Amino acid sequence: MLIEQFKSKVKIIKPLLDGYKREIGEERLTEEQLIALEKAILQKDIIFFVAKQEQEIIAMCSISKTFSTFSCNYSGVFEDFYIIPKYRKYGIAKRLTEFVLNYCSENNIYSLWVGCADCDVEMYKYLGFETPLGNLLTWASE
């Protein structure tokens, strides 16, 4: 299995994006949203990481870099974490997360935070997310 930073066209990871959105009960990204995502990747506003089995992309996650007063350093938001169901329970989540954490260490990202459903808390703790930061709420302009 190969894990790498994803720098290519969004259409290559679109099947995983669709699976992720379906699993969390959200609509697929529209064409307009896919174009915006492609632009964000090119501008390095969001960085995707993928795991491949031979040439097939079987898992992904992303981080968006930000500055945080939690550590007064650069931080990141860990999102889009998805593994194709038939590849789950093989340690891919742990290896993908370790790759991302090493990337962050090497690229001056000092902390990552993740928002998750209650049912996923233990998994994220196992993956290394141990410091609780209270409740996560969002605001959207739409």
Share of the chain above pLDDT 70, in %: 100
Looking at the predicted structure, is the pLDDT value of residue 60 above 90?
yes
What are 111-128's pLDDT values in tens digits? 999 988 888 989 999 999
Closest CA to 76 of 52, 105, 50: 105
Q: What is the pLDDT of residues 14-25, one digit of tens each?
A: 999 999 999 999
Domain positions in the chain are 2-126
pLDDT at residue 57, rounded to an integer: 95
Domain 2-126 falls under CATH 2.30.30.30: no
Answer yes or no: is pLDDT of 70 > 80.
no
pLDDT the model gives residue 119: 85
